[in-house]
């Protein structure tokens, strides 16, 4: 039997809750499996992503309505309630429809014993609108970060981290705009790989991106339906990621024979753009990745450029040990909390913790130290994260450079403004670039170009 949009949304939500699945990877597969397209696919996507994004708010509402803590509610029943709460409070579904459909979903899931509970809790949820619930939950809460956390459905520590990242750039007053932008689904951006899909940029119906000279806005619908996307020469890629790759490839003219390395290449998004840039100028890219499964994804992503790239599985922390292994350009797109990509990874905000920041910062510092030791004299390295958290961005660069006095910071903001179609106004201090969803419509990418001077 063909699964309904609600059932697909439930399956993905539940896999995220109990198996730590990634919604953005699982949902497309489930939509295809259920043959859901058009408005049905759109409904399932909004139901699933919207529920995940605002899960913290809905859990607080459910706790209140049920009169008990959410961790005392069976996991599948809780997920049915979360989906119901999103339909009631986030999607404007009429109460009788949202409640009845949720009860029907519970029955289809063989949760008949919870039928009355689902019905009663969702009826109580439907007695208030979302602003009324928010007002109720805010009563007596004085801490401003906690208030933003409730109002914009972010964990408090994420609010505090984003506040400190913005304040470091004198943009503290933009916090609410950023939190609101995190809750708006990102528009799908495409990149036309140079030399392989240039015609896509001049097509009559092309809607060009604001900043990236290679970027396009995807028309509505499934981008995978476009044969150029299927063949891999036009790729789905956030404009911020395009700019991170172009900052490195266009930092200075490319000499034929240059050796390039992507240290953390999986799943291969930036590597594909770097490989296309390198191939046009006679440079060679080695795309490296620690996880074997993700190395396979890199191979797949680089298939249209297979002749001009190499791919390997390796731990980036071992770089530098071989004195013959040196590179002219290095992309270090480090593993990070992803706090800059919350629009795209709806569950990420609830899954990460401050402990992850500490663990990732240690890994980021080790990777940067190792990568710098493999940088040729005259070479350029891009340190990139899709998190604006100061502990993952400026603090990593500052700390590692203390041990590398010869390394110079390039004025990334200035260099990137020469690449983009419009000025970014994204200077983050000490030469770095910080992009923001609420300002640039991109993920919050941090980009710092570093160089080892000739002879150093």
Ligand X SMILES: C[S@@+](CC[C@H](N)C(=O)[O-])C[C@H]1O[C@@H](n2cnc3c(N)ncnc32)[C@H](O)[C@@H]1O
Q: Which is nearer to ligand X, 106 or 190 (CB)?
A: 190
List, in sequence order, every residue forming a beta bridge with 375; answer none if it has no partner.
327
- 107: its two tokens: 């029955």
Which among 98, 101, 56 is positioned nearest to 351, based on CA atoms? 56
The nearest distance, CB 337 to ligand X, in angstroms, is 10
CA dihedral angle for residue 72, residue 76, residue 82, residue 85, rounded to 10 degrees:
-100
Which among 443, 413, 416, 445 is positioned nearest to 430, based on CA atoms? 413
* Residue from 79, 182, 333, 443 in contact with ligand X (CB under 6 A): 333
The nearest distance, CB 294 to ligand X, in angstroms, is 4
* Residue from 56, 84, 335, 437 in contact with ligand X (CB under 6 A): 335
Element (DSSP H or E) covering residue 249? helix 239-249
- 316 scored as a contact of ligand X (CB under 6 A): yes
| Contact string 149-188 vs ligand X (x = CB under 6 A) | ----------------------------------------
The nearest distance, CB 262 to ligand X, in angstroms, is 6
* Residue from 265, 305, 342, 361 in contact with ligand X (CB under 6 A): 265
Stretch that binds ligand X, among 188-196, 223-231, 263-271, 444-452 (CB under 6 A): 263-271
- 291 scored as a contact of ligand X (CB under 6 A): yes
267 is in an annotated binding site: yes
- 299 scored as a contact of ligand X (CB under 6 A): no
48 is annotated as an active-site residue: no
What are φ and ψ of residue 187, in 5° steps? -70, 145
**DSSP state, residue 235:** E
- 315 scored as a contact of ligand X (CB under 6 A): yes
The nearest distance, CB 412 to ligand X, in angstroms, is 17
* Residue from 6, 235, 270, 344 in contact with ligand X (CB under 6 A): 270
Burial class (CB in 10 A: 0-12, 13-18, 19+), 291: middle
Residue of 88, 196, 341, 386 marked active site: 386
- 332 scored as a contact of ligand X (CB under 6 A): no
The nearest distance, CB 386 to ligand X, in angstroms, is 6
Contacts of 103 (CB under 8 A, 6+ apart): 115, 118, 119
Long-range contacts of 114-122 (CB under 8 A, 24+ apart): 114/74, 114/77, 114/80, 117/66, 117/77, 118/77, 118/80, 118/81, 118/84, 121/62, 121/65, 121/66, 121/81, 122/65, 122/81, 122/84, 122/85, 122/88, 122/95, 122/98
Which residue's entry shows tokens 């609410």? 176
333 is in an annotated binding site: yes
Q: Which residues are annotated as a binding site for S-adenosyl-L-methionine?
A: 264-270, 289, 315, 333
Q: What are the residues binding ligand X (CB under 6 A)?
A: 241, 263-270, 289-291, 294, 315-317, 333, 335, 367
Catalogue the active-site residues. Answer: 386
């Amino acid at each position: 039997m063909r699964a309904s949009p609600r059932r697909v949304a439930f399956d993905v939500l539940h896999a995220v809750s109990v198996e730590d699945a990634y919604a953005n990877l699982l949902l497309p597969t489930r939509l295809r499996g259920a043959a859901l397209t058009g408005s049905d696919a759109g409904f399932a996507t909004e139901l699933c992503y919207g529920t995940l994004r605002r899960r913290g708010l809905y859990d607080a509402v459910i706790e209140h309505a049920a009169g008990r803590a959410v961790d005392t509610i069976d996991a599948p029943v809780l997920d049915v309630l979360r989906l119901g709460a999103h339909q009631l409070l986030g999607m404007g579904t009429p109460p009788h429809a949202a409640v009845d459909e949720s009860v029907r979903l519970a029955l289809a899931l063989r949760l008949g014993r919870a039928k009355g509970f689902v019905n009663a809790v969702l009826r109580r949820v439907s007695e208030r609108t979302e602003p009324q619930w928010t007002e109720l939950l805010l009563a007596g809460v004085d801490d401003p970060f906690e208030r933003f956390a409730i109002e914009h459905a972010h964990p408090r520590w994420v609010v505090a981290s984003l506040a400190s990242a913005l304040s470091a750039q004198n943009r503290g007053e933009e916090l609410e705009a950023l939190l609101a932008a995190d809750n708006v689904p990102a528009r799908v951006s495409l990149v036309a790989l140079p030399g392989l899909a240039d015609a896509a940029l001049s097509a009559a119906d092309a809607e060009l991106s604001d900043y990236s000279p290679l970027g396009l806005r995807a028309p509505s619908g499934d981008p995978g339906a476009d044969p150029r996307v299927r063949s891999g020469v036009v790729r789905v890629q956030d404009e911020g990621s395009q700019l991170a790759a172009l900052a490195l490839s266009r930092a200075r003219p490319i000499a034929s024979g240059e050796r390039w390395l992507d240290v953390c290449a999986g799943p291969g998004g930036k590597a594909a753009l770097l490989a296309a840039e390198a191939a046009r100028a006679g440079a060679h890219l080695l795309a490296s990745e620690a996880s074997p499964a993700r190395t396979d994804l890199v191979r797949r992503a680089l298939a249209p450029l297979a002749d001009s790239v190499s791919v390997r599985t390796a731990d980036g922390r071992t770089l530098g040990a071989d004195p013959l292994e040196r590179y002219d350009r290095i992309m270090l797109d480090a593993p990070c909390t992803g706090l800059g990509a919350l629009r795209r990874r709806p569950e990420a905000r609830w899954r990460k913790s401050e402990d992850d920041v500490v663990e990732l910062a240690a890994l980021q510092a080790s990777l940067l130290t190792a990568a710098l030791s493999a940088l040729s004299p005259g070479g350029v390295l891009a340190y990139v994260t899709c998190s604006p958290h100061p502990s993952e961005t400026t603090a990593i660069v500052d700390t590692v450079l203390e041990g590398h006095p010869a390394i110079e910071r390039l004025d990334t903001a200035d260099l990137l403004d020469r690449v983009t179609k419009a000025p970014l106004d994204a200077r983050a201090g000490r030469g770095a670039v910080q992009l923001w969803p609420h300002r640039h419509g991109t993920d919050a990418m941090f980009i710092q170009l570093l160089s080892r001077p000739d002879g150093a």
